Amino acid sequence: MYLLNKRRVNRQESGKKKAKQGKEKMKKQIKNLEKKLKLPEKMNAKLRQRLWRSSKQQSSQESPRTKVSKLLKGTKNVSKTVKKKLLFSELLLSKIKSTYIRSNTAEKRTLKSATSGILEKYRCQGYFTSLTSRWKTNLSYGRTERKIKLEKLREDVKAFVENDMTSRLTAGKKETITRNKQKCQMRLLNDSLKSLHKKFLAAYPFYKDGDLTTKIKFERWVTKKVKVIIHGNEKISQKTVKETVECSKQELLKAFMKSMPTFMQHVNNVNHQHQIINKIKENLQKKEALLHIDFSENFNCKYAEEIH
């Protein structure tokens, strides 16, 4: 009897295992089938997007005359005057579009303000706004001049660094590095970055900075004594204002280097204070407290009549 019960238990356990394995196998098959079903959907969405883009490009490349023909498709007995006016409007619109894309923000604002009154009167402001917003979107996809310059600079730097005069290849098979799924042999620089930068500027002189004597403009905050009129009386008051300064690059560099020690001392004081405060906080006892008091500085005494 005991042997029969044991065999029955073993059969039940083996049956459960087989059922469990069968379920797991079916789950895997279901997942694989679901993945296969999703692939055509993704491909269809991709093809739809591609078709939409191609149709959009074709519509943007159409001539004004073709656009007019499409507008009048299916209509009969259209006079030549109407066709001429439609063609004129399409030509004018294409010219406005090309000018708008090349214009800066101020010029775009001027164009909108110049046409806002008449467009609002005949309820065409929304149509014009939708057109200009689409022109902006199309413009953002293009390669700007700055991007082209950056790509050119990146290519030149890469060519310079990969030159055997600048760096050397490592000998080991495992001395490689992978970036963006591209495996390359590691290179070691033959000199410091400072000297290599000088060599790069000598090899590519058009990347050099301009003459240090050239004039530049920049803005800075300064505290000045300004004459103000208070209750009919002229007073001299100190105010912090922003002023535009014109100087050479060399003078700006000297002013920057002169202000660096004071700034670095201030940064060092801040870091030191934070370190000390953190140490005190970490070592505080149960009956102790930390008071952080910030005293105001640079206050002057004034007469009551000077305060405004």
Token pair in block for residue 233: 């009386």
3-state secondary structure of 192: coil
In this structure, what are the phi and psi dihedrals at residue 226, rounded to the nearest 5 degrees? Answer: -120, 140
Tell me which residue of 288, 169, 307 sits closest to 235, measured CA to CA: 307
Asked whether the beta carbons of 100 and 135 are under 8 A apart, the reply is yes
Tell me which residue of 223, 225, 243 sits closest to 234, measured CA to CA: 225
Tell me which residue of 254, 244, 228 sits closest to 307, measured CA to CA: 228
Residue segments in the chain with a per-residue pLDDT below the cut of 70: 1-12, 55-61, 114-116, 131-144, 209-212, 295-308
**Where exactly are the structural domains of the chain?**
81-132, 147-207, 211-259
Q: How far apart are CA 131 and CA 7, in angstroms?
A: 82
What is the per-residue pLDDT for 57?
A: 61
Radius of gyration of the chain (CA): 37
Q: How far apart are CA 204 and CA 156, in angstroms?
A: 8
What is the per-residue pLDDT for 63?
A: 78
Find the length of the chain: 308
